[in-house]
């Protein structure tokens, strides 16, 4: 059979002509080196919008920190490093030392995380690995609801339920068995560092478990199946395939939880007792950076007092920054060790 020639050549675009709707202005292309003449206009618009959004984040961060630093400057100039090491917080005599606040913040948050971490990871493992699918969906939703309860409601619950319960049942027990440690000695009060840690732990658990659940479900099914196919039980599969794959994600979840605990304000203010002093016992009232700012801002009459409170905020930002940088380094080290050698 004879082959018929094609009736007409397909129309080819002249490559020297730009596509319709492209940036034609050489000047623009020159100013924005990534864009070349011939790139569709939509690309240019997309780059512009996303770039602007990203830039906003940087600008906001700089603006907030700048204002905080400027406003805190009178207190920084007056007290210097003594602000961080002094335990003397005496607004009447204009003496301001942040150490009790730093102590309360760090101790309550770390304690909360120590309690919340095993619980949160456990809940996440149960949701993603153990529970039947329908139950896991329901429980997962409930956990997310738990994270959505406003912190002031947690605070109320802390005042009326958790605090008295800790005082009447948990603190006597701790005193009896661990009373040889100064941490668990002394009078028992419902508003205390322990109450604050407990309420923070309750608030942090849903965060840790929600993130960990996502981390665990991101483990490739192929790895789980590889473990099962070798005759692993569920727990062995978790140890072989899920946990090693999730280490950096778990660290991230914990850091997120810690960040939440460090910055939590109103629930802590309601149960911690707001006493700017360091005491060895967890049963005693204490205070934190965030709750002090919220409590005392309205009564700060002098400029120096306001400035000192803002410096507390600055310290809080620094602590959060420190936590995040440490977390990054930790994750970096963990992943590098795993994939090198």
Is 168 near another protein (CB under 8 A)?
no
Is 90 near another protein (CB under 8 A)?
no
Binding mask 122-151 for another protein (x = CB under 8 A): -----------x------------------
Which of 287, 294, 289, 284 shows the shortest CA–CA distance to 262? 289
Stretch that binds another protein, among 37-45, 70-78, 148-156, 225-233 (CB under 8 A): 225-233
Q: Do 178 and 270 form a contact (C-beta atoms < 8 A)? A: no
Is 228 near another protein (CB under 8 A)?
yes
Binds another protein (CB under 8 A): choice among 110, 240, 256, 323: 240
- What residues have CB less than 8 Å from 268, skipping those under 6 apart? 108, 155, 196, 199, 200, 288, 290, 291
CB neighbour class for 258 (10 Å; exposed up to 12, middle 13-18, buried from 19): buried
Q: Do 67 and 314 form a contact (C-beta atoms < 8 A)? A: no
Which of 171, 200, 170 shows the shortest CA–CA distance to 268? 200
What DSSP letter does each residue of 74-142 carry, written as one string? HHHHHHTTHHHH----BGGGTB---HHHHHHHHHHHHHHHHHHHHHHHHHHHIIIIIS-HHHHHHHHHH
Stretch that binds another protein, among 13-21, 25-33, 204-212, 222-230 (CB under 8 A): 222-230
Stretch that binds another protein, among 13-21, 108-116, 207-215, 235-243 (CB under 8 A): 235-243
Is 119 near another protein (CB under 8 A)?
no
- What residues have CB less than 8 Å from 20, skipping those under 6 apart? none
Task: Say which DSSP state 20 is in.
Answer: T
Nearer Cβ to another protein, position 39 or 223? 223
Binds another protein (CB under 8 A): choice among 39, 226, 300, 323: 226
- First-to-last alpha carbon distance for the chain, in angstroms, is 65
**Subset of residues 241 to 260 that bind another protein, contact rule: CB under 8 A:** 241, 244-245
Nearer Cβ to another protein, position 65 or 248? 248
Stretch that binds another protein, among 21-29, 108-116, 163-171, 223-231 (CB under 8 A): 223-231
Q: Do 305 and 72 form a contact (C-beta atoms < 8 A)? A: no
Q: Do 284 and 189 form a contact (C-beta atoms < 8 A)? A: yes
What is the distance between the alpha carbons of residues 209 and 127, in angstroms, rounded to a whole number? 9
Is 338 near another protein (CB under 8 A)?
yes
Binds another protein (CB under 8 A): choice among 236, 318, 322, 328: 236
What is the distance between the alpha carbons of residues 298 and 290, in angstroms, rounded to a whole number? 14
Nearer Cβ to another protein, position 150 or 220? 220
Binds another protein (CB under 8 A): choice among 68, 110, 232, 277: 232
Binding mask 42-61 for another protein (x = CB under 8 A): --------------------
Is 301 near another protein (CB under 8 A)?
no
Is 99 near another protein (CB under 8 A)?
no
Is 225 near another protein (CB under 8 A)?
yes
- Residues of this chain that interact with another protein (CB under 8 A) are 133, 220, 222-233, 236, 240-241, 244-245, 338-339, 341
């Amino acid at each position: 059979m004879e082959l018929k020639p094609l009736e007409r050549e397909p129309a080819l675009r002249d490559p020297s002509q730009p596509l319709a709707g492209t940036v034609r202005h050489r000047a623009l292309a020159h100013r924005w080196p990534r864009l070349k003449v011939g790139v569709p206009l939509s690309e240019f618009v997309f780059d512009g919008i996303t770039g602007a959004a990203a830039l906003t984040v940087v600008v906001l961060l700089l603006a907030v920190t700048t204002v905080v630093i400027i406003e805190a400057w009178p207190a920084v100039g007056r007290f210097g490093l003594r602000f961080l090491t002094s335990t003397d917080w005496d607004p009447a005599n204009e003496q301001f030392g942040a150490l009790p606040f730093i102590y309360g913040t760090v101790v309550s948050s770390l304690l909360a995380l120590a309690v919340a971490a095993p619980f949160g990871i456990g809940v996440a493992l149960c949701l993603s690995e153990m529970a039947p699918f329908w139950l896991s969906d329901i429980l997962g939703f409930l956990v997310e609801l738990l994270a959505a309860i406003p912190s002031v409601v947690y605070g109320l619950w802390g005042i009326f339920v958790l605090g008295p319960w800790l005082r009447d049942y948990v603190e006597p027990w701790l005193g009896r068995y661990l009373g040889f440690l100064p941490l668990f000695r002394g009078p028992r009060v419902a508003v205390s560092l322990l109450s604050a840690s407990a309420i923070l732990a309750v608030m942090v658990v849903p965060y840790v478990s929600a993130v960990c659940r996502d981390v665990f479900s991101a483990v490739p099914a192929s790895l789980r199946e590889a473990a099962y196919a070798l005759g692993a039980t569920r727990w062995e599969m978790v140890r072989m395939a899920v946990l090693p794959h999730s280490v950096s994600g778990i660290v991230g979840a914990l850091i997120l939880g810690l960040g939440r605990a460090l910055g939590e304000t109103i629930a802590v203010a309601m149960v911690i007792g707001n006493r700017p002093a360091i005491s060895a016992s967890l049963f005693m009232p204490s205070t934190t950076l965030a709750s002090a700012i919220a409590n005392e801002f309205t009564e700060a009459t002098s400029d120096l007092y306001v400035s000192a409170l803002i410096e507390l905020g600055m310290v809080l930002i620094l602590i959060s920054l420190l936590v995040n940088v440490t977390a990054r380094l930790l994750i970096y080290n963990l992943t590098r060790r795993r994939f090198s050698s």
